[in-house]
């Protein structure tokens, strides 16, 4: 386990545990106690569990989630790689605004918008940066 500032496991309360099968898969697929977002989703699919369950196991193991597919966290010193779009099509703006709830766009909804309009997830995240829409909550529970 990795000790880093605030403990990720604290948000799950005392006595929280993760299934051994998820822990084993995370351990096998991680590098330097870090697990990329895409790999977490692969593990969830392979084990038939939710991405949130995998994210919880990562937290409880005090590993880091990295390389968010929305570009929001886990990219070294920069933290995030997403940047605002300079060319925001009205169709994308409308699709995002229709999915916003309480000023936020859930990560799962951002993925759905990207799939529906046929653009990369990172482009939707860039549009959200332009529109000042926060993407939250994370499907892995990172935020």
83-139 pLDDT, tens per residue?
999 999 999 999 999 999 999 999 999 999 999 999 999 999 999 999 999 999 999
| Same domain for 97 and 55 | no
Does residue 112 form part of some domain? yes
Q: Which of 5-9, 36-40, 90-94, 103-107 has the lowest mean pLDDT?
A: 5-9
| Same domain for 97 and 128 | yes
Give residue 36's domain range: 8-67
Quote the tokens at residue 130: 């332009």
Residue 9, SS3 per DSSP? helix
Does residue 3 form part of some domain? no
Model confidence at 3, in pLDDT bands (50, 70, 90)?
very low
19-31 pLDDT, tens per residue?
999 999 999 999 9
Does residue 16 form part of some domain? yes
Cβ–Cβ < 8 Å for 56, 28: no
């Amino acid at each position: 386990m990795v000790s880093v500032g605030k403990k990720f496991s604290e948000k799950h309360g005392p006595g929280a545990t993760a299934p051994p099968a998820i822990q084993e898969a995370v351990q096998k697929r991680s590098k330097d106690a870090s697990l990329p977002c895409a790999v977490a989703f692969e593990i969830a699919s392979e084990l038939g569990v939710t991405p949130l369950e995998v994210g919880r196991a990562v937290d409880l193991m005090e590993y880091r989630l990295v390389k968010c597919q929305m570009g929001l966290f886990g990219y070294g010193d920069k933290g995030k790689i997403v940047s605002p779009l300079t060319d925001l099509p009205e169709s994308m703006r409308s699709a995002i605004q229709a999915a916003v709830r309480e000023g936020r766009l859930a990560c799962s909804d951002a993925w759905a918008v990207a799939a529906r309009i046929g653009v990369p997830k990172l482009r939707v995240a860039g549009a959200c940066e332009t529109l000042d829409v926060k993407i939250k909550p994370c499907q892995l529970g990172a935020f």
